Chain A
Amino acid sequence: MASTAGTAPVAVDAKPDTGRRRGRTGYLLILPGLAWLVLFFVIPFYSLIATSLYDPNGSDFRGYDMTYHIQNYWTAIQEYWSPLLRSLAYGAIATLLCLVLGYVLAYAIAFKAGRWKNLMLVLVIAPFFTSFLVRTLSWKLILADDGFVVDLLQTVHLLGEDGRLLATPVAVVAGLTYNFLPFMVLPLFASVDKIDPRLIEASHDLYASSFVGFWKVTWPLSLPGVVSGTLLTFIPAVGDYINAQLLGSPNQRMIGSVIQSQFTDANNYPIAAALSMILMVLILVMVLVYVRRAGTEELL
């Protein structure tokens, strides 16, 4: 008999290789796309770093010259720390609201919609096919001072006589929540839909109440969707300035707006670039901490 014992690792299933071919064709196929990303994503990122470290007292702006003028970052933080923090706060609140609304919706579609599942899924995405800006303008109309929402809130005295919604943080956060909801619902749905309903039944069989069953079975199983949904919502929400600009006032100014105007109106490229970098780093740090706490690093 063969002397197999001990020498060869005995696999449960003799799995053939991944089926991936080797050779030059693969590199040829990926090269154009990769080149595009290197040219217009990686190199620009280097330009951004270089620009952010450019000494504004230098004569002519040329960008590629690294002058390591770290001072730009201090200036940027000193001048614009409040819109920065505000952006992170608005983004976080909007993400949390999205999570609540999105979870209800995803759960209802996955488990309660029955044969209407596909229809409901289409309905979730449908409103977001309309232009982002047109949608947001529409909210401006709804929340307007003479609109029915404000009237209603004033009638029930939730809002004072002169109270308004437009140009308040409420309107901005509401706008962000609305506009980024699909980024939350879709990954959540993908995750929740995979859960075998028999697991929830089993939890009830094992004496878990509806709430405990949800908390101990459904929620942990949906965590991958929760993590990717919150990331997909939080990141663009923090960088967005359309909602703040259209629904808010200068008091609700977000960092994206500052960066945009520093670039195009003030022509202050180094500060704008530094702000971009700070935003990127802040988001990166928050995401890493969050992902580590959620314990799902393999998601990234």
Chain B
Amino acid sequence: MSQVAETASPPAGDTTYDGLRLRGVTKSFGAFTAVRDLDLDVPRGSFFALLGPSGCGKTTTLRMVAGLETPTSGSITLAGDDITYAKPYRRPVNTVFQNYALFPHLDIHENIAFGLKRRKVADVDTRVREMLDLVELETQARKRPAQLSGGQQQRVALARALINEPEVLLLDEPLGALDLKLRRAMQIELKRIQTEVGLTFVHVTHDQEEAMTMADTVAVMNRGVIEQMGAPEELYENPHTTFVANFLGQSNLVEGAIKGRGGDVVTVDMHGIDVSIPAARSHAAGDRGWIGIRPEKVLIGDPGEDLDAPGNSIPGGVVTDVSFVGVSTQYLVRMPWGQELQVFQQNTGHRRLYRTGEAVELSWRPEYAFLLDISQDASAGAEQED
């Protein structure tokens, strides 16, 4: 079962939807199920990111949309047309491949013109020149791909796909081969081009920062299913699963017993301290749950100090590790129940630095906390480094 957050799914037979729609799509390779009963709606004109660790099924999903893989079951429709079994060269979808897949025996101009020529479109040269202009490669038209830098090759791959004005442009880890600095520049560039041409972009990546900077909507995928989907800030602030909580940024997850669900608030007993969590941020069934709080939402202070955080205040912590990283200081604080919590403190200059071994008190505002299902693995998604 997959979760499609916040979007009411219209029935599959509805052909009025003008975006890309996947219904019940499953893809198995032998015993391995790469994608499991996936439902997905990508609105027309949006910049949509599929985010997840390698092996989560995001590339397989993309390849099914491109027509390079055939789903084991389910359907894919694009602007109302069923394209589930359409050949890749018969669907209005183009791909920017992971390692660009530029034709080494053709020059840049010929590479970009390739799709138009196959469709026998008129005035190819003018359009190629316009496209070269858009990606700022006018002077490189007669070079071979091998003579260009990585960033330039990336732009050729983009131009080669864009020139066909596809209904959906698929980007398979398009920036993966670039170094960090170039990657950031290309992120802005891609976003600019998407806004300019107004096409639907579906972007596959394992880089959460990349997904959050560029996309309007991010779908977090794990083990063949979508864990959660929504706007980047919504995913970050209100994760529904431990995987999302850990994969997007970092989270402190503390076990607690649910004492009561009254109105807008859920009260949880966290190792003897009552903490309250807004009902809209509670995603736990049963009588226990993981209380989640982002490290930068946790305030650190002297024992008994009145911190600017009414509600949840947790005494008895001891600093076990201090990392000064310039813009902030990162603390590890051992709590009375033995768990170490992470705390990021902005170096605003208003607060003093704590040293290892000092006794401290932690505090956070209830509206920042979230509550997750206890049956989930608290470390899911945490090992991802990229």
Contact = CB atoms under 8 A, between A and B. Distances in A.
Interface string A143-186: 00000000000000000000000000000000000000000000
At the interface, is chain B mostly helix, strand, loop or mixed?
loop
A14 B56 contact: yes
Contact of A11 (B3, B32, B241, B373): B32
A1 interface: yes
Interface in B158-182: none
A210 B280 CA distance: 69
Given A12-B54, A16-B63, A2 B224 contact: yes
A219 to B, nearest CB: 34
Interface string A1-12: 110100011111
B217 to A, nearest CB: 21
Interface residues of A, number: 13
A184 to B, nearest CB: 32
A16 to B, nearest CB: 6
Given A1-B376, A2-B36, A17 B29 contact: yes
Given A2-B225, A13-B54, A14-B60, A8 B241 contact: no
At the interface, is chain A mostly helix, strand, loop or mixed?
loop
Nearest to A19: B68
Contacts, number: 48
B59 interface: yes
A9 B28 CA distance: 12
A2 B32 contact: no
A17 B60 CA distance: 11
- Size category of the B interface is 20 to 34
Contacts of A9: 31-32
A13 B206 CA distance: 12
B225 A12 contact: no
Interface in B1-32: 1-3, 29, 31-32
Nearest to A12: B55
B57 interface: yes
Given A8-B33, A9-B32, A14 B57 contact: yes
Contacts of A13: 54-55
Nearest to A8: B33
16 contacts: A1-B3, A1-B227, A1-B373, A2-B1, A2-B36, A4-B36, A8-B223, A9-B32, A10-B223, A11-B55, A12-B55, A13-B54, A14-B57, A14-B60, A16-B69, A17-B29
Interface of A: 1-2, 4, 8-17
A-B pairs, top 10 by smallest CB distance, nearest first, are A4-B223, A14-B34, A2-B225, A14-B55, A8-B33, A13-B55, A11-B55, A13-B54, A14-B60, A12-B55
